[in-house]
Amino acid sequence: MSRRARRTHIPAFTAKAARAAVEGDRTPAELAEQFDAHPSQVTSWNGAAMAAVSVSS
């Protein structure tokens, strides 16, 4: 059984996923399925986006 290589996501992709997570109309599991990522990764992107917004305000 081969393992899938670790992926790096470009900033535009993470921003798109974080924006969808911040909207809050879908669960992290639904967003993870849409963006082909783990739900905890979506939660992490959401937290980073919220921290960036609070710092810039």
- In the chain, how many domains are there? 1
Q: pLDDT by residue (tens digit) across 4-35? A: 888 888 999 999 999 999 998 999 999 999 99
Residue 41 vs residues 18, 45, 50, 57: alpha-carbon distances, Å: 10, 6, 14, 24
Could you give the angle at which helices 39-56 and 28-35 cross, rounded to 10 degrees? Answer: 100
Residue 10 lies in a domain: no
Say if 3 falls within a structural domain: no
Give the three-state DSSP class for 10: coil
52 within some domain: yes
**Residue-level pLDDT at 53:** 85
At residue 13, the pLDDT reads 94
Looking at residue 5, its pLDDT comes to 85
pLDDT of 6: 84
Q: pTM of the entire structure?
A: 0.79
Which domain, by its residues, includes 46?
Answer: 26-57
